[in-house]
Structures are given as C-alpha cells and as structure tokens.
Chains A and B, each alone.
Chain A
Amino acid sequence: MQNLTGITINDYILLSTVLFCIGALGVMLRRNAIIIFMCIELMLNAVNVLLVAFSNHFGDSQAQVFVFFIMAVAAAEVAVGLAILIMIYRNAGTSDTDVLNKLKW
C-alpha cells in the first residue's frame, strides 16, 4: 500500500467484509423501512472502501472514478427511494415492512 506502512490490503478486505455484514444484518433484523434503507447505504459504502483500497494498492485512478459514479447513483437512489417511502406511508399509514405484505405469496 502506498503511504501506508504496516497495513496490508487484507486489512481493508476484512474491514469491508465486516461493514458489509453489519449492513446485511440490519436489512434482515430491522422492520422499519427507513432503517433498512440506511443499512443498504452502509453496504454500498463498504464496497466503496474496498474499491478505493484497491485503487491505492494498484496505483490506478479508474476505481476512484467508479466510486464517484456509485456515489452519484446512490444520491439519485436515495431521492427516489425516500419519495417512494413517503408515498407508501401516505397510503398504508406505516413504514413497517411486516405490514406491507400485499405482494406476499
């Protein structure tokens, strides 16, 4: 790793894996749709950290451009997703995913 003595790429892989699994745990555990949305953001950021770490490892700036685009898409996704959540709350009166089971087979 450049400018980083004593830290290997495997440390970043471990950190990113732990953050991703925390996000997955939140998606499985919580019932509130807003919290689930926040945990999805956490998983996105875990992947971003790994991309930047590999960009530093290989000295290639294209991965950082990818992270830039991921941030742009995440911002658009949050805007539309929160609008959908507000719409669901207006129609169903709740954002609890246990209640929103009309599509459940």
Chain B
Amino acid sequence: MSITEYIFWFLSFLAVLSGLMVVFSKNAVYSVLYLIITFFAIAGHYLLLSAQFLAAVHIIVYAGAIMVLFLYVIMMLNQNKSAEPNKHPYLMFISVIAAGALLLTLIGGLKSATVAQATSTQSNIGTIETLGKVLFTDFLLPFELSSILFLAAMVGAVYLSKNKLEA
C-alpha cells in the first residue's frame, strides 16, 4: 500500500468514527466538537483529491463559521447538558435498522456500478486560478445571485431573532 492509501483509509476511518460520535454522544457540545473533527477529515480528503481551494474554503466556512454559530446557539439555548428524557426504548433499535437498510440498499445498488474512464487528464483543476476562471466566466450569474441569497438570509435571520416585532 502506498502512503496515499494509508492517508485515505485513516481519514475515512476518522470521518466515519467521529460522524457516529456526533449521532451517539449525549452532550450537544460534544456533538459539535466531533462534527468539527469530521469536517477536518473531509478537508483532508479534499486535499488528497487535489482540491486545495475547496479544502481551505471548507475549513473557513464550516469549522470556522458554521460550527461557531452552532456553539453559540447551544450556549444561548442552554443545552450543554443531556436532555432527552422521553425517548422511546424501541426508537433507537428502529432507527438503526432503518439506517442500516438504507445503507445496504445504497451499497448493493452502487456495488456493481461501473464508472466511465476519465477522458481528459487535466491536472490543475483544484487551484484558485482555474476555479476563479470558471467561476467568473461560466458561473457568473449564479455567483451574483448567491449574493442576493446571502442578503435575504441576513435580513431573515435578523428579523427572526428580533425580540419583539413592532409593527
């Protein structure tokens, strides 16, 4: 096995393990911390796939912004203790069975899938230069539209979390 294979399997193991810990840890703050570990493992996968720009954006946006937002909300809602008292005893059993059935179905369907061989062998697709050229030529309109989306999200978030809505 080459060094990239070792890194791939290590990062995959780390992502899956901490993903399971997100689901099964009792404390919501620990769930956030395990999710950050998962995001760093996914950023390692992006580096392995030579998508350097996406790896940097992923760490900045997810681990830097989104998870801090989650931590703030958990702090504001005072959920840093485990509080799920009325959990049905069969609920865990049933949902594990359902998720396992979904996993088996997807793997069984995708196991025999054949992917077409790569046609072009362009190597520097993940660099900022290449992505910036594509973003500002082919995808210029969606790029500008996403700024309107951000404006709408910002206005919506401020409006929703205002304490009293005076008319």
CB pair A56 B66 closer than 8 Å: no
> What are the interface flags for B25-46 relative to A under an 8 Å C-beta threshold, 1 for contact and 0 otherwise?
0001001100100110010011
A5 to chain B, nearest CB (A): 5
List chain B residues, Cβ under 8 A from A103.
none
Q: Across the interface, do B77 and A34 meet the contact criterion of CB distance under 8 Å? A: yes
Residues of B within 8 A of A100 (CB): none
How far apart sit A11 and B8, CA to CA, in the bound complex (Å)? 9
CB distance from A44 to the nearest CB of B (A): 10
Categorize the interface residue count of chain A.
35 or more
Q: A17-B110, A68-B131 are in contact. Are A7 and B8 (CB under 8 A)?
A: yes
Q: Separation in Å of the A67 CB from the closest CB of chain B?
A: 6
Q: Are A61 and B130 in contact (CB under 8 A)?
A: yes
Contact with B along A45-67 (1 / 0, CB 8 A): 10011001101111111101101
Point out the residues of chain B lying under 8 angstroms from A28, CB to CB.
Answer: 95, 98-99
What separation, in Å, do the CA atoms of A32 and B81 have in the docked complex?
Answer: 12
Give chain A residues whose Cβ lies under 8 Å from the Cβ of B150.
72, 75-76
List of A residues within 8 angstroms of B51 by Cβ: 52, 55-56, 64
Bound state CA distance, A31 and B31, in angstroms? 14
Chain B residues numbered 119-167 whose CB sits less than 8 Å from any CB in chain A: 119-123, 125-126, 130-131, 134-135, 138-139, 142, 146, 149-150, 152-154, 156-158, 160-161
Residues in B neighbouring A82, C-beta threshold 8 A: 69-70, 73, 157
From the candidates B8, B39, B77, B153, name the one contacting A4 in the complex (CB within 8 A): B8
Contact A29 B95 (CB under 8 A): yes
- Please, could you name 20 A-B residue pairs with CB atoms under 8 Å apart, sorted by A? A4-B49, A7-B5, A10-B110, A13-B110, A17-B106, A22-B16, A31-B84, A31-B86, A32-B84, A56-B50, A56-B51, A58-B120, A59-B119, A61-B134, A67-B54, A68-B135, A74-B66, A78-B69, A79-B154, A79-B157
Closest 5 CB pairs of A and B: A25-B99, A76-B153, A28-B95, A83-B160, A26-B23
